[in-house]
Amino acid sequence: RRVCLRRRRRLPCASPISRFPPLVGSTQTLSLEEMPTAAFLPSLLLLLADRSYATPTTIKLGLEWFLNPDHLPLVVALREGYFAEAGLDVQLLEPADHWEAEEEILAGRLDVAVTETLHLAQDAARGKPVIGFSRFLHTDGGVLFLGSSNISRPSDMCGRTISYPGSPGIGGPAIVQTMVEADGGSCDIASYGKHNGGFYHVKALQDKAAAVATLVFYNFEVIEAQQMGLRPGFFSLKEWGVPDFCQLVLFTTPQRLQALRPQLRQLVLAMRRATGLIKREPARAARIYEQHVKGSAAAAGTTNRSALAKVGAALSGAAAMVNPVAAMRRRKERKLEAAIFDATLAALPNDNSLSGAYFQGLMAWLVKTGQVDAQVGPELLPEGYWTNDIAL
């Protein structure tokens, strides 16, 4: 989801030793007689070390798409004050359209951004200054089709039209062709039709613009199709020879990684803490997310997709008061939102690391399918664009 998906800071409670005069930014001067005695020096040192008395480090974090439940650990850590307690002022920024996040980081407009492992490896192979450091979502990705398509196994997809973002590039056919071959099929890769329906996968299939859609997230499009009664079928990447790349990670540039290493460690720990809350108290997490979406749209006055969706929901809610059809539509929307939220909970990993072997396999597939230069990919070591030093 390389194209577009789209704060309140809460300080920790006052320290028990806050009876002392403020030491940061204070204009008051103490005489020697007024200075704390040796008995109080340990408390004084704790005060000086307390991050709540220091200026927080701003982290401008760019999302890869409009704000959605995939970003739950970020939202919960922000709203619950976990970032603030770690001395961070994290700003979640949605792209207005498409952006090359590493260029935004180099220009100083972002510090960190969200991407998928697939795009991280591709960017590294193109020589871009990128390094990933923490995974926070691992969903089941793959190919979606409807019951009316006469497809029952991967080899049935040979020569069919594929809907995928980035069409007419090679990515969509590379995924489908790998699955066909894993199922024992033989197919000319040039035989596939190509349709660019963006991320409106279900619509492309409904409109019969394509027979299959790929770069699909199970917790979104498959759930959507199920809720619409479309009898969706799904082939998982991991089950049919394609590297399991539907994983969201945080990345930055090597320069920003070195400059912000301690702060990025705190960022990861705060998100890990938030993931724990989400799994233990999903109903509470749902309320936090809803409050954040409503607050962000109201405060920012943005015209992004998430804000427009909420405006539309408000209008449909008002219409439902006098229109039973609108009321039914809104009930269906709420049911879909709840189903997507529930499906996303299972996609939040406790382990933020990724192995070098995983990236080696991903890069080998990219080279084999012609998505990465065969002269560059094999020579590119995973440690050049991924580190576990911060996640572990």
* Weakest-pLDDT range from 14-23, 292-301, 364-373: 14-23
Confidence (pLDDT) at 21: 34
Dihedral of the alpha carbons of 338, 344, 350, 353, in degrees to the nearest 10: -160
Structure tokens at 5: 């998906």
Average pLDDT over residues 18-26: 34
Listed residue (218, 152, 217, 165) closest to 194, CA to CA: 165
pLDDT > 90? residue 357: yes
Partner residues linked to 65 by β-bridges: 5
- pLDDT of 299 > 70? The answer is no
Higher pLDDT, 204 or 36: 204
> Which is more confidently placed, 95 or 115?
115
Confidence of residue 302 (pLDDT cuts 50, 70, 90): very low
User: Per mean pLDDT, which range of 51-60, 209-218, 249-258 is the poorest?
Assistant: 51-60
Give the pLDDT of residue 45.
53
DSSP string of 83-137, one letter each residue: HHHTTEEEEEE--SS---HHHHHHTTS-SEEEEEHHHHHHHHHTT---EEEEEEE
**Angle, nearest 10°, between helix axes 282-300 and 261-280?**
120
Cβ within 8 Å of residue 8, ≥6 positions away = 78, 79, 295
pLDDT (0 to 100) of residue 54: 78
* pLDDT given at position 40: 54
State yes or no: pLDDT of 47 exceeds 60: no
Q: Is pLDDT at 387 greater than 90 in this prediction?
A: yes
> pLDDT confidence of 81, banded at 50, 70, 90?
very high
CA atoms 368, 370, 375, 377: torsion sign = negative
Q: Concatenated DSSP letters for 203-225? A: HHHHTTS-SEEEEEEIIIIIHHH
For the question of whether the overall pTM of this predicted structure is more than 0.85, the answer is no
What's the pLDDT tens digit per position in 336-356?
999 999 999 999 999 999 999
Q: What is the DSSP pairing of strand 141-146 with strand 232-236?
A: antiparallel
d(CA 192, CA 160): 5
pLDDT band at 327, cuts 50/70/90?
A: confident
Q: Work out the number of other CB atoms within 10 angstroms of the CB of residue 370.
A: 12
Q: How far apart are the first and last CA of the chain?
A: 26
Contacts of 97 (CB under 8 A, 6+ apart): 3, 4
Q: Is pLDDT of 217 > 70?
A: yes
For 131-176, the pLDDT digits (tens) are: 999 999 999 999 999 999 999 999 999 999 999 999 999 999 999 9
Name the strand (E) or helix (H) holding 61. Answer: strand 57-62
User: Within 13 Å and on the Cβ side, how many CA atoms surround 218?
Assistant: 22
Confidence class of residue 388 from pLDDT cuts 50, 70 and 90? very high
